[in-house]
Chains A and B, each alone.
Chain A
Amino acid sequence: MTGQPQRVLLLIGSPRGAQSTSASLGSYLLSEMEKQGAETEVINLYQYLKSDEGRNDLLEAVNRADILVFTSPLYIDCLPAPVIAALEAIRERRMVAQPPWRQHLVALVNSGFPEPEQNATALAIYKQFAREAEFGWAGGLAFASGAVINGKPLKDSGFIARNARKSLEIAAEALARGGPVPSAAVKLADKPLVPTWMFLLNANRSWKHQVKDPAVWKEMEKRPFRKNT
């Protein structure tokens, strides 16, 4: 990376799109990079992958960028299927042609679990993608307890999101200077948003509010499938 103003492409890989925690985290990083002079563009992968036209637009946008920022939730210990489909398409295109300048990749992963290390395989997959598709790996950040943010803008998420904000601010400054995500940003992202006991208490209670129908609440542990012996 050169330290010159960067063209940064944010790729949101959540079915909730702009309303997602993935978008909250990615948008905050993007706004911090804009303060450093970056030009930014945002793509919702779920929308763009629905059509050939969207897929082409995605690949063109990738070719314009200096830095790609992927932001996605943890699904079954890795990336959601549409994000993998996007990575497959990007690699396929890059095997044919790629811009003459060195492009870099940053990944943000968030999960519903309180331990950020549960995101490690997802970050490792992004890193492996960067290697195989010939992007420079600029680092990744893992955020836990995404439900605490729950899609709210990070700047409006109060005290609880202070470490996430600071982590992204440090990352943005380093990326704008042409460096990778610093370890200080990684350590701050790794700090649990809430203690595990509090997470368990609140997360398990919260379902009572999300289930509107009392009859459904009584059947929460229902087993609809049985083995035929």
Chain B
Amino acid sequence: MRAVVLDGSWQGDQTSRTAREVLEEHLKENGWKVRSLLLRDMDIRPCDGCLRCWTEHPGLCSGTDQGRMIPGLYITSDLAVFLSPVTFGGYSSQLKKALDRMIPNVLPFFERINGEVHHRKRYEVYPKLVAIGVLPKPVQSGEMVFRALVDRNAINFYAPAHATGFMYGTEDSDTIRLGVRTILSRVGVMA
């Protein structure tokens, strides 16, 4: 089983670093192959909306930077983890620059699903999705928006299961460890 961790944290964010290390450790102990991407250190340019991934070479981004590999890494995984500081209730620009490059993984065509229009699947199976939002302290309004956003992403990324959790800057590594274990168990990853 393969997992990809998309780490959208900023330099100096110790909570995110601990969360990522604990995630990697737990997953590897349980036989997972883990690929972590520290997005702030990668050359990933913004999606330019050219749509050539739909109109010229279906399923492949035409960019020449490291963002080109994001759709493939994501779709060949069984579990995807979004790790990000909760930024105005959403993801950091570091995580989002990677997610914006994922549209090749769906088709340009639309269909109605549960009464709402979505892009059709390109692939038969998509990874489970776990999102971990990191904050200095609990912020209810921001966390509500973050949960709603992950719920929407899970629909549009066709995640067969998804879970959202939060880690706070005040937490020690044991609490983070417990939090990571709990979130993973909610998508059926590890007991």
Contacts and interface: CB of A to CB of B under 8 A. Distances in A.
A56 interface: no
B12 to A, nearest CB: 14
Contacts of A77: 149, 152-153, 156
B57 interface: yes
Query: Interface size for chain B: under 10, 10 to 19, 20 to 34, or 35 or more residues?
Result: 35 or more
B59 A223 contact: yes
A220 interface: yes
Nearest to B104: A224
B159 to A, nearest CB: 13
A2 B182 CA distance: 50
Q: DSSP class of B's interface residues: helix, strand, loop or mixed? A: mixed
A200 B112 CA distance: 8
B90 A84 contact: yes
B110 A88 contact: no
Contacts of B90: 78-79, 84, 121, 125, 128
A110 to B, nearest CB: 13
A207 B112 CA distance: 17
Interface residues of A, number: 52
Interface stretch (A27-35, A58-66, A178-186, A209-217): A209-217
A199 B119 CA distance: 13
Interface in A157-190: none
Contact of A76 (B72, B93, B142, B156): B156
A221 B120 CA distance: 10
Given A207-B55, A220-B58, A78 B46 contact: no
Nearest to A130: B88
Contact of A225 (B51, B75, B156): B75
A224 B76 contact: no
B110 A200 contact: yes
A220 B108 contact: yes
A4 interface: no
B107 interface: yes
Contacts of B58: 216, 219-222, 224
Contacts of A210: 51, 54-55
Interface in A29-79: 46, 73, 75-79
Interface in B82-104: 87-93, 96-97, 99-100, 102-103
B47 interface: yes
A223 B122 contact: yes
Contact of B145 (A128, A203, A216, A222): A128
A137 to B, nearest CB: 12
Contacts of B88: 84, 87, 91, 125-126, 128-129, 132
A155 interface: no
Contact of B93 (A88, A114, A200): A88
A204 B109 contact: yes
A131 interface: yes
A146 to B, nearest CB: 12
B72 to A, nearest CB: 4
17 contacts: A15-B49, A75-B96, A77-B156, A87-B88, A88-B87, A88-B92, A113-B116, A118-B152, A124-B148, A125-B88, A131-B141, A200-B112, A211-B55, A221-B107, A225-B59, A225-B75, A228-B76
Given A81-B97, A88-B92, A118-B116, 14 more contacts: A46-B46, A82-B46, A84-B88, A87-B88, A88-B87, A113-B110, A125-B149, A128-B141, A129-B88, A199-B110, A199-B117, A207-B108, A213-B56, A222-B58
